[in-house]
Structure 1
Amino acid sequence: MTTQPTTATAAQASADAFRSLMSEFPTGVCAVTARDLDGEPWGMTCSSVTSVALAPPTLLVNLRVGSPTLRSLLNSGSFSVNFLHAEAQGTAELFASGNPDRFALTPWEQPPGPGGPHLVRDAHTVADCEVVLTQRMGDHVTVYGEVRRISRQHSLPPLLYGQRQFRSWSQT
Structure 2
Amino acid sequence: MTESTAPPTSTLSPSADVTPDGFRSMMSTFPTGVCVVTSLDREGSPWGMTCSSVCSVSLDPPTLLVCLRAGSPTLAAIREQGGFAVNLLHEEARGTAELFASGDPHRFDLTPWVQDPFAAGPHVVRDAHTVADCAVVLTQQVGDHVTVFGTTRRIVRQSTEPPLLYGMREFRRWSAV
Q: TM-score range by the shorter chain?
A: over 0.9
Structure 2 gaps, min length 5: 1-7
Distance in structure 2 (CA, Å) of the matches to 1:31 and 1:15: 24
State which drifts further: 106-115 or 49-58. 106-115
- Unpaired runs of 5+ in structure 1? none
**Equivalence for 2:158:** 153
Residues 95-125 of structure 1 show CA distances to partners (whole Å, capped at 9, x for unaligned) of 0000000000000000212510000000000
Query: Secondary structure of 1:75's match?
Result: helix
Could you state the TM-score of these two structures normalised by the residue count of structure 2?
0.93
TM-score for both structures, normalised by structure 1: 0.95
Q: Distance in 1 between matches of 2:12 and 2:53?
A: 32
Query: Is the aligned partner of 1:60 residue 2:65?
Result: yes
Q: Hey, what's the Cα distance between the residues in 1 that align with 2:85 and 2:109?
A: 18
8 Å CA contact 1:114–1:148 kept in 2: the answer is no
- Paired with 1:170 and 1:37, the residues of 2 have a C-alpha distance of 41
Which among 76, 82, 87 is matched to residue 77 of structure 1? Answer: 82
Q: Which residue of 1 is the match for residue 130 of structure 2?
A: 125
The alignment partner of 2:113 has SS state of coil
Identity among equivalent pairs (%): 65
- Runs of 4 or more, structure 1, over 2 Å off, are 3-12
* Number of equivalenced pairs: 170
Instruction: Specify whether residues 154 and 8 from structure 1 end up closer, same or farther in structure 2 by C-alpha distance, changes over 3 A only.
Output: closer
Q: Give the equivalent residue in structure 2 for 1:88.
A: 93
Give me the whole-angstrom Cα distance separating, in 2, the residues matched to 1:130 and 1:7.
Answer: 38
8 Å Cα contact 1:123-1:153 kept in structure 2: yes
Distance 2:109 2:124 in 1: 12
1:6 deviates by: 2.2
Alignment partner, residue 21 of structure 2: 16
Residues 41, 117 of structure 1: 8 Å contact kept: yes
Following the alignment from structure 2 to structure 1, what is the Cα–Cα distance between the partners of residues 100 and 173?
18
How far is the alpha carbon of 1:89 from its aligned partner?
Answer: 0.1
